[in-house]
Structure 1
């Protein structure tokens, strides 16, 4: 009836609105172009054109439409219609896309910090080149939270959608690639019957659909490169990927390694979580909690949630609970949030051999370790240790630093200890501890023997440390480990091992004289020697303790007491070496106390004894010390005479002096010669000697002597009216003094530098 009525009244038939696909096809045919020819003219792929003409892409991007209009030479009303249909198609596609599929999770309201990281993500995603950002880091660092926050902020830049997909990388069954592609295709509007069955076809369709769409895909918790690669968009699409693994094989991405929150931001996060408690007076407790949580956002979130759910608790009380390392991981749980569970997911990914290395590394005394120590602790080869360390770093269970050294995050260390207690017996733990401490002390003793006349007594069963430079480096970077091992062995009554170690450190301590731990080392050595009834070596350790007081500028009267005890023990044991050493160190204390005549007498006696005993190294020290006594007494010519004798000795290859000792003493002798020349008014010579000495002292890593020489040199330059050089040298002296913790001297030199302006 409706058609009969229209005919009777001659109404025109109702026109069906043309689709973008139909208009595109008509214009292409009118231009007598094939799909391939239009693709070549416009720069739009033939596959994309085919999808448009078949209606699979109803609303292509504006720049694509403009390129097609230019290639088809459309103008005026035709161009407006063409562009308008594409715009309408984009709007229809946006509003008809199935909702609830791959939706972005909500962003937490109290998100805190990460300003630089958010800026990095925004810059990357909005840049025109690389469109994929990979954010990695260990469990609990807030990778997902950061990425979701960034994605919400970037929503306006992606009119075609922001999609989120959890890849379940830490589960026993990560999301398969085909299922991941299926979920994303459905979210992009594909019906189930349109989605191919096999992975390759799904990946091809996914790339085709995204090629002309401005979308952001967040791929959270990735398991592997193979899982991620097919999910990365082409063309205008962008992606953010998070993973505990480094995914080192993933190409064409920019990487962001996430670290713990700085303490200030960590405390701010706690304050934000607890803002409704009115806890403004708990600021100091928040700082303590932030430190105990190691800046780990998940741990901070758990701590904050526990306090928020228990109004009767104070932050200070909870911080006191967390100070107990044995219970800290148990305390860091709130509902279904458990810090230990987060670490456990990573631990479960490890091979059995790597798990063993991981938990046994918790027995290392210091904070850092290398592959050699890891192999000893883990009971594996060096190659096996490297493999395990790589796997642990890849999963974020270890942090790798410079020069092949590794460390735990504090909370991960507690987790490793927990796994060790749960999975290995006490006897097994004790055996590993014994192996680690024994190896550390033997390695350290091996290194220490390089720096004295007894350096031939080395343990040839241990590898490495084939030069004094290697030995020096090993001792410095492993100080926390060998010092911790020494204390452990001392606590267990291992007197012989402690004493052997402490004896091996005496000569090396002269090279690293400003280190703060020597008093502990030699005090343990004194007690061990006393327990063993070894009078001679007890005297040696007492002399070493006196030397520590002299170098540190500590208790000079205590130094004299130590040398008096050492003298008595040296006489009782018949040890000429320790009697001479007692005279030498007593002279040093007497000089600093201003008792110069006594100091010169004692130092001269020490020099005679050492020379008669054939100990050239010790004799050289006495020459230098005598020079300092005469310098302090104002007898500069006699002081210079002794320093020149020392200079001749260290440069005489036939003197019998240990090469490492000569190398150590040479820059010191040169510096003292320069100082004496300056005191004698021979400034140009003094400046030349001190300039050379300063460079050598820096190479020899003798900062205390270097700082003093720089200050002396700066004063001489000022006297020569070389003001600019003087100012720079004072400033450098201030830096070196500051590096060794002498704030007073540093401030003095800075004032002198400023005064030279």
Structure 2
């Protein structure tokens, strides 16, 4: 028997001996909607619709549960494997008014080549419809942007607005998915975006901007790029922009919007005066009008006057921060009273989510509900417009609605209850992040119970990485909350779990913050060993993420001081090694050599093969090269290779394998620098096929490119062409266009018999 929702509804209707028209009359659901359900065109009706049908069919017991279960299955959302962070949110089909502003936006499309790219700032009070106008206008002009239109929530009202460097990374990688490593410097990254964007016709909505400093790096210079910015602030410091300040809708447009929202309801009581009265009580703000319109549409037995009377009852209103917020919070109150008990509780507690949005798993933790009931409650909230939902199973509260939810929470739940819910959410985020982060540790073992997480599957490193990246705003906010409440050991444990994962996501931008929090927490615990460890991590973050060499040097020196206090020889060696790397970046090669040598001795003394193989020995080799001691550098590299290849040495196979490939690469490149072509081939030829090399494409491509140059020097043109072609294929795979262009010049020269000229144009491998 067909158990689909459509077939089930048809069977139940036939059993009740009702026509579609009769069921429509009894339930209030339109004939067309019922027909679409039965034909399978609509698979996930809202819960209130299904309940109305069940009531009209007089279903009870098993039959009622069966219908509700079939509808729930159709509504269930499955998170996309890789959420599109720049997807345009769904617009509203009944958008009304703002004709002048839309015309002004459309007129900006006639920018001539070479002229400044058009930029628009839409400003206005909360609820004025800034985002709706931007999305509606840009979506309506989509045909003018063949390369796409994108949306970014800049989170300008959060305590931690979105970093412009992160926005630039998302935009660049959306336009050029295969692009290689991006510049760390914000100015360089902004220049790269301007260059990339100039070759495209796109529209970008930058929603909820914090200030001018956040926006300036995100503005293109010339080309067919429309940038639409929304903000509560006027952003008067921005020059050369078109300004569209939004006020509440004019009376006529407010009435029109409300009329469109309640189209199809009984005409009785819907006079122009009554609709105008209700619109006035909403302050003509689109957000308030939409919530009230949805409420009337859900209660066709109510007249606008009846609803207006409830709005005018001051005892039923929430106190507002300002008079301008009074009417919109009254509209929120009306929607809130229509929610089921479970949906009310979830709505209140969503105000406690640490980040800007959440998935169904965190919603379930906050609400204390099973997954199925969480889905139903979220459906209610989305239906009434109290929660915004995109296409990637993420849920967000508008700023004002979140404030309203928080006020309801304070009124209806005790301080102890609120604290318990927040602690549960923070603990879940931290526990899950720790479990996900530990998957990247070299000695990871699935048998460890502390690696398991509730509500989310972390079966693979790919799943763990996706969760960490998708929920980064939330777990970082949870880390901040743990810091604010003095949960120092939790902060240290969380950051420790991120240590190995941070190497995979260097360009996130917030690792300096993570390790600042953890090093501070360690200091609060008076744990000198932990303080040394996390100051060492912070030194890495300053050098790799911020390109702040002075900061890296300072952190490494502080780490060494803490390690001495703790009597921790291992962390002293790590501090020496991090300081050696930073000093080399600061052009202090002799100082780097001194510290790297001391780090090697220190790691030997505590038998720390990981630190020796992964950090100190390569730092020593580079310092020896820079101080004009290539023979000693070669001995350091060969010692590292031998140590990594010795199966008797107790260390992680992952670390040993990576060190083996890295050491062979360094040896081969040093031979090339000395003109020892045969030795370079003998070293690089086997190393390029070792398994770890294939797992790190950048290393593999560098070695193939180096082999190609060496074989050219040896007159082995055919072999050189083969190796160079392999290098190009790998560079294409990882999107390193600069390296690919350089090596392509060598291949062209080899094919044309002019390899010497081509070689002169190729940047040497370092």
| TM-score after normalising by structure 2 | 0.51
Residue 549 of structure 2 is aligned to residue 556 of structure 1? yes
Displacement of 1:369 after TM fit? 3.9
**Alignment match of 2:404 (pick from 418, 427, 436):** 418
Displacement of 1:596 after TM fit? 2.9
Please state whether the residue corresponding to 2:650 is helix, strand or coil: coil
**Alignment match of 2:677 (pick from 661, 678, 681):** 681
CA displacement 1:395-419 (0-9 Å, x = unmatched): 88554656xxx313563x7535523
**Does structure 1 conserve the Cα–Cα contact (< 8 Å) formed by 2:359 and 2:395?**
no
**Alignment match of 2:430 (pick from 441, 465, 471):** 441
- Distance across 1 between alignment mates of 2:725 and 2:282: 56
Matched residue, 1:272 = 102
Matched residue, 2:349 = 360
Matched residue, 1:260 = 90
CA displacement 1:683-730 (0-9 Å, x = unmatched): 65676567557x956856xxxxx5576466446546746679858956
Distance verdict in 2 for CA 1:359–1:198, change over 3 Å: closer
**Does structure 1 conserve the Cα–Cα contact (< 8 Å) formed by 2:533 and 2:559?**
yes
**Does structure 2 conserve the Cα–Cα contact (< 8 Å) formed by 1:630 and 1:636?**
yes
**Alignment match of 2:528 (pick from 522, 525, 535):** 535
**Alignment match of 2:468 (pick from 471, 475, 483):** 475
**Does structure 1 conserve the Cα–Cα contact (< 8 Å) formed by 2:88 and 2:135?**
no
Residue 122 of structure 2 is aligned to residue 286 of structure 1? yes
- Distance across 2 between alignment mates of 1:487 and 1:331: 37
Specify which structure has the bigger relative contact order, considering alpha-carbon pairs within 8 angstroms and separated by 6 or more residues: 2
**Does structure 1 conserve the Cα–Cα contact (< 8 Å) formed by 2:665 and 2:687?**
yes
Matched residue, 1:628 = 622
- Distance across 2 between alignment mates of 1:562 and 1:488: 24
- Distance across 2 between alignment mates of 1:408 and 1:376: 14
Please state whether the residue corresponding to 1:365 is helix, strand or coil: coil
**Alignment match of 1:431 (pick from 389, 409, 420):** 420
Distance verdict in 2 for CA 1:586–1:736, change over 3 Å: same
- Distance across 2 between alignment mates of 1:692 and 1:198: 69
Matched residue, 1:521 = 514
Displacement of 1:639 after TM fit? 4.5
- Distance across 1 between alignment mates of 2:545 and 2:355: 24
- Distance across 2 between alignment mates of 1:307 and 1:520: 43
1:22-41 alignment, distance < 5 Å: none
Displacement of 1:617 after TM fit? 1.5
**Does structure 2 conserve the Cα–Cα contact (< 8 Å) formed by 1:178 and 1:198?**
no
**Does structure 2 conserve the Cα–Cα contact (< 8 Å) formed by 1:547 and 1:559?**
yes
Distance verdict in 2 for CA 1:688–1:308, change over 3 Å: farther
**Does structure 2 conserve the Cα–Cα contact (< 8 Å) formed by 1:583 and 1:606?**
yes
- Distance across 1 between alignment mates of 2:698 and 2:451: 38
Please state whether the residue corresponding to 1:296 is helix, strand or coil: helix
- Distance across 2 between alignment mates of 1:629 and 1:331: 70
CA displacement 1:61-85 (0-9 Å, x = unmatched): xxxxxxxxxxxxxxxxxxxxxxxxx
- Distance across 2 between alignment mates of 1:259 and 1:499: 37
Displacement of 1:577 after TM fit? 1.7
**Alignment match of 2:587 (pick from 550, 573, 594):** 594
Residue 558 of structure 2 is aligned to residue 565 of structure 1? yes
**Does structure 1 conserve the Cα–Cα contact (< 8 Å) formed by 2:124 and 2:130?**
no
- Distance across 1 between alignment mates of 2:450 and 2:699: 38
CA displacement 1:157-193 (0-9 Å, x = unmatched): xxxxxxxxxxxxxxxxxxx9537978xxxxxxxxxxx
- Distance across 1 between alignment mates of 2:635 and 2:442: 26
Judge which range, 483-492 or 367-376, deviates more: 367-376
Please state whether the residue corresponding to 1:306 is helix, strand or coil: coil
Matched residue, 1:496 = 489
1:346-745 alignment, distance < 5 Å: 351-367=340-356, 369-382=358-371, 384-385=373-374, 388=377, 397=387, 399=389, 406-409=393-396, 411=398, 414-423=400-409, 424-425=412-413, 427=415, 428-449=417-438, 459=450, 462-463=453-454, 465=458, 471-552=464-545, 554-621=547-614, 622-633=616-627, 639=633, 641-647=635-641, 649-650=643-644, 654-659=648-653, 661-662=655-656, 665=659, 668-669=662-663, 671-672=665-666, 675-676=669-670, 678-679=672-673, 680-682=676-678, 688=685, 692=689, 699=695, 706-707=697-698, 710=701, 713-714=704-705, 717=708, 720=712, 726=724, 729=727, 733=731
**Alignment match of 1:338 (pick from 289, 295, 300):** 289
Displacement of 1:445 after TM fit? 3.1
**Does structure 1 conserve the Cα–Cα contact (< 8 Å) formed by 2:388 and 2:397?**
no
Residue 215 of structure 2 is aligned to residue 306 of structure 1? no
Distance verdict in 2 for CA 1:566–1:420, change over 3 Å: closer
Please state whether the residue corresponding to 1:285 is helix, strand or coil: strand
In the alignment, structure 1 segments of 5+ residues that lack a partner are 1-175, 183-196, 208-219, 229-244, 251-256, 312-329, 701-705, 739-745
- Distance across 2 between alignment mates of 1:307 and 1:691: 66
Displacement of 1:583 after TM fit? 1.0
Distance verdict in 2 for CA 1:686–1:300, change over 3 Å: same
**Does structure 1 conserve the Cα–Cα contact (< 8 Å) formed by 2:356 and 2:396?**
no
- Distance across 1 between alignment mates of 2:498 and 2:452: 20
Please state whether the residue corresponding to 1:503 is helix, strand or coil: helix
**Does structure 1 conserve the Cα–Cα contact (< 8 Å) formed by 2:688 and 2:703?**
no
Distance verdict in 2 for CA 1:224–1:626, change over 3 Å: same
Distance verdict in 2 for CA 1:505–1:352, change over 3 Å: same
In the comparison of the two structures, how many residue pairs are matched? 495
| TM-score after normalising by structure 1 | 0.52
**Does structure 1 conserve the Cα–Cα contact (< 8 Å) formed by 2:693 and 2:699?**
no
**Does structure 1 conserve the Cα–Cα contact (< 8 Å) formed by 2:249 and 2:285?**
no
CA displacement 1:20-45 (0-9 Å, x = unmatched): xxxxxxxxxxxxxxxxxxxxxxxxxx
Displacement of 1:225 after TM fit? 7.9
Please state whether the residue corresponding to 1:286 is helix, strand or coil: strand
In the alignment, structure 2 segments of 5+ residues that lack a partner are 1-18, 36-44, 54-69, 76-86, 111-117, 138-243, 254-280, 299-334, 749-766
Residue 21 of structure 2 is aligned to residue 178 of structure 1? yes
CA displacement 1:589-618 (0-9 Å, x = unmatched): 122233334323322321222222132212
